[in-house]
Amino acid sequence: MSRPEVTVIDYGVGNLLSVQRGLEHCGAKVILTANPEKILTAKRVVLPGVGAFTNAMPALESLGLVAVIRELAQRKTPLLGICLGMQLLLEESDEFGVTAGLGLIPGRVIAVPDRTLSGVAQKTPHIGWSALQASNETDGWQKTLLQDNNPGEAVYFVHSFMAVPTDPMHRIADCIYGGHSIAAMIRRGHIMGCQFHPEKSGEVGLKILRRFILQ
């Protein structure tokens, strides 16, 4: 059997090597590209991202990829945004002034609270391992990328901003930071995003990537 292909969008931000290595470790054949044609015809696509929202959107725009990614959503191509890549899926971000996002999942990106729920100063960025928990009481993780995972398993986060989807049903998993629920994994149809780094979360994260390459 040939290895499942994953196309990783290379738009000049961050460390693609880790994402590539993680996917390859899980058995995927990884294609790194910014070529619109290749991305449009991909079987499944990862939108990675480290850095600032305000740099990433112009970078995607200048490569002609904003329309391409929106077209992927129309075609129902599985798309996984990681970290900043997840935040880009939303409509707009507050990072350094308001910047429009890809608008594939309704909602906004706002700063991680610098106070705990009880009002004590807390550190940002949110860096470190936090446990995943189901966002919705009614909906488990069956048929999601987390179907092989269990609540309580920890994954690695490093972020100063966080996505807040308008529709709570688009949230699959949260983590708790200073008492606040932060969207850890979101999904709308074939569009998926994780705020944490599955490629940096040991075996727990690799299970999620393995599930993605079967999409």
Q: Which residues are catalytic?
A: 83, 197, 199
Nearer to another protein, 50 or 68 (CB): 50
Among 205, 210, 212, 213, binds another protein (CB under 8 A): 205
165/91 Cα distance (integer angstroms): 9
Number of residues that bind another protein (CB under 8 A): 35
x/- letters, 103..132, toward another protein (CB under 8 A): -----------x------x-xxx-xxx-x-
x/- binding map, residues 146-165, to another protein, per CB under 8 A? Answer: ------xxx-x-xxx-----
Contact predicate 48/16, CB 8 Å: yes
Does 211 contact another protein by CB under 8 A? no
DSSP-based helix, strand, coil % in the chain, nearest 5: 25, 30, 40
Q: For the segment 53-92, give every residue that binds another protein (CB under 8 A).
A: none
Nearer of residues 39 and 204 to another protein, judged by Cβ = 204
Q: In what order do the strands lie in the sheet with 133-134?
A: 29-33, 5-9, 45-47, 79-82, 191-194, 180-188, 171-177, 133-134
Segment lying near another protein (by CB under 8 A), choices 3-11, 60-68, 186-194, 203-211:
203-211
Say how many C-beta atoms besides its own lie within 10 A of residue 17's C-beta.
10
Per DSSP, the chain holds a count of helices (H) and strands (E) of 6, 14
Using CB atoms within 10 A of its CB, is residue 121 exposed (0-12), middle (13-18) or buried (19+)?
exposed
Distance of closest approach, residue 168 Cβ to another protein, in angstroms:
26
Helix (H) or strand (E) holding 174: strand 171-177
Q: How far is the CB of 12 from another protein (least distance, A)?
A: 11
Nearest distance in Å: CB 149, another protein: 10
Which of 142, 140, 130 minimizes the C-alpha distance to 184? 130
Which residues of this chain interact with another protein, rule CB under 8 A? 14-15, 17-18, 21-22, 25, 50-52, 114, 121, 123-125, 127-129, 131, 152-154, 156, 158-160, 197, 199-206
